[in-house]
Amino acid sequence: MGKIDFSVSETHTVLAPNWIGDTAMAAPFFASLRSNFPDSKIRVIVNPWVEGLVQNYPWVDEIIKLDKKSFWYLLKTFRFGKLKNKLSSDTFWLLPNSFRSALIGYLSSSKSRIGYSARFRKQLLTNPVFLSENKSQYLIDYYLELLVANGLNPVSKRISIEIRDDLLEVSKNTLEKLVDLSQGPLIGIHPGAFFGSSKTWKPKNFGLLAERLIDRENANVLIFGGPGEKELTEMVGKHSKAKALNFFGKDNLLILPGLLSMLDAFISGDTGPLHIASLVGTPTISIFGPTDPKLTAPRGSNNFYVYQNLDCSPCFKRVCPLHHHDCMEKITVLDVENKLKNIL
């Protein structure tokens, strides 16, 4: 691996992670890249569904949308040259650890291509970084290691983004139409998980939690839901005798950070909105089951998680392979309420 002369790196292209939560946890990487190269142009290649989040990142100059389907179509029809000029840069950083991501970097013909060397990727990279043997490496550290391995200095792992004034105004107006912001704490809950059913806590538990928060804390409770989660969010509302506000359809990724920044607390499983909430400085409580809080739970004094630490967990499976779902089933509403006492 030859040492990169970063003094001539005028353009950096970053292939962002595929998932919303991972992209939120990559924010310290983007901030660090900008800190190291304040005058360089930073472009980010994203899947369309994370574009709105990256639009909130002040460290990014340009966003390029490229989903998996479009990439393979361009490749099969020998039309990748149409994107080559857009993707080529002095330095190409690959945050996903897949063969496809390395192939995108290789086809960009960028001078330097930096990423982890796993999965037959080494030959496609100019500067492969060997994976840590630490299987419990925090995801933020995993991304920052790409910089450290190349002699660059990361900024703090705990960063936050400031919401643009126009987006904050949209968020405030949206909330004021639905709730009295001067009355009681404003708490968001997100019952869904795009990953799979293994990450979901029972809708009736979220419903009971919402009811208790409204009755005991005089809280305004907002139920957040993403694409395909309308039925789930409605089920949570039905399980609550008290009326919670269903925010399905209002949480597009462009304004979601602004909405989350106005909450007093946010409660969910290990999901993308959880990591966005932490990124904007909102206190969080996360419910972990099949995934490992050591790897992805938000850190800091205002972030808490509930985890049973069973022998079968973490399994990282989308559906419980033992068919009992105990890692989530054994977490009670009281467990979550006790964590909330640290915030309210």
What one-character-per-residue DSSP string does 111-125 give?
SEEEEE-TTTTGGG-
Angstrom distance (rounded) from CA 100 to CA 120 = 11
Looking at the fold, whether 213 and 125 belong to one and the same domain comes out as no
Instruction: Write down the pLDDT at residue 4.
Output: 87
Give the residue from 94, 120, 148 where a domain finishes. Answer: 148
Instruction: Write down the pLDDT at residue 275.
Output: 96
Give the residue from 85, 115, 148 where a domain finishes. Answer: 148
Query: What Å distances lie between residue 56 and 50, 52, 174, 235, 280, CA to CA?
Result: 11, 7, 18, 31, 10
Looking at the fold, whether 297 and 174 belong to one and the same domain comes out as yes
Residue type, 1: M
In a domain, 213, yes or no: yes
In a domain, 157, yes or no: no
- The DSSP code sequence of 260-276 is HHT-SEEEEES-HHHHH
Beta-strand runs (E) in the chain: 11-15, 41-46, 62-65, 91-94, 112-116, 127-129, 186-190, 220-223, 245-246, 265-269, 284-288, 303-307
Angle, helices 203-217 vs 333-340, to 10°: value is 40
Query: What Å distances lie between residue 248 and 181, 211, 221, 224, CA to CA?
Result: 19, 18, 13, 6
Looking at the fold, whether 225 and 312 belong to one and the same domain comes out as yes
Instruction: Write down the pLDDT at residue 195.
Output: 67
In a domain, 160, yes or no: no
Looking at the fold, whether 140 and 229 belong to one and the same domain comes out as no
CB 229 within 8 A of CB 196: no
Per-residue pLDDT of the chain (344 residues; tens, 9 = 90+): 568 888 878 999 999 999 999 999 999 999 999 999 999 999 999 988 899 999 999 999 999 988 766 667 666 655 666 667 778 899 999 999 888 889 889 888 899 999 998 768 889 999 999 887 766 789 999 999 999 999 999 988 888 898 999 999 999 998 888 888 888 899 999 998 776 778 889 999 999 999 999 999 999 999 988 777 888 888 888 888 766 666 666 668 899 999 999 999 999 999 999 999 999 999 999 999 999 999 999 999 999 999 999 999 998 898 889 889 999 999 999 999 999 999 98
In a domain, 108, yes or no: yes
Give the residue from 148, 180, 208 where a domain finishes. Answer: 148
Instruction: Write down the pLDDT at residue 193.
Output: 77
Instruction: Write down the pLDDT at residue 238.
Output: 84
Looking at the fold, whether 180 and 134 belong to one and the same domain comes out as no
The number of C-alpha atoms within 13 Å of 170 and in the hemisphere containing its C-beta is 14
Looking at the fold, whether 183 and 328 belong to one and the same domain comes out as yes
The CATH number given to whatever domain includes residue 195 is 3.40.50.2000
Looking at the fold, whether 97 and 169 belong to one and the same domain comes out as no
Looking at the fold, whether 183 and 127 belong to one and the same domain comes out as no
* 240: exposed, middle or buried (Cβ count in 10 Å: 0-12, 13-18, 19+): buried
Q: What domain range includes position 192? A: 165-340
Looking at the fold, whether 173 and 236 belong to one and the same domain comes out as yes
Core vs surface per residue 116-130: b (16+ CB within 10 A) or e: bbeeebeebbbbbbe
In a domain, 110, yes or no: yes
Looking at the fold, whether 110 and 184 belong to one and the same domain comes out as no
Alpha helices in 12-164 (DSSP H): 20-25, 27-36, 51-54, 68-76, 81-87, 99-107, 139-148
Residue type, 42: I
Looking at the fold, whether 141 and 169 belong to one and the same domain comes out as no
- What is the signed CA dihedral for 332, 334, 335, 341, rounded to 10 degrees? 160
In a domain, 257, yes or no: yes
In a domain, 159, yes or no: no
Instruction: Write down the pLDDT at residue 82.
Output: 66
In a domain, 285, yes or no: yes
Instruction: Write down the pLDDT at residue 86.
Output: 76
Query: Which of the 8 DSSP states describes residue 302?
Result: T
As a whole number of Å, the CA-based R_g of the chain is 21
Looking at the fold, whether 235 and 261 belong to one and the same domain comes out as yes
> Helix or strand or coil: residue 277?
helix
* CA 234 to chain CA mean position, Å: 24
Q: Domain tally for the chain?
A: 2
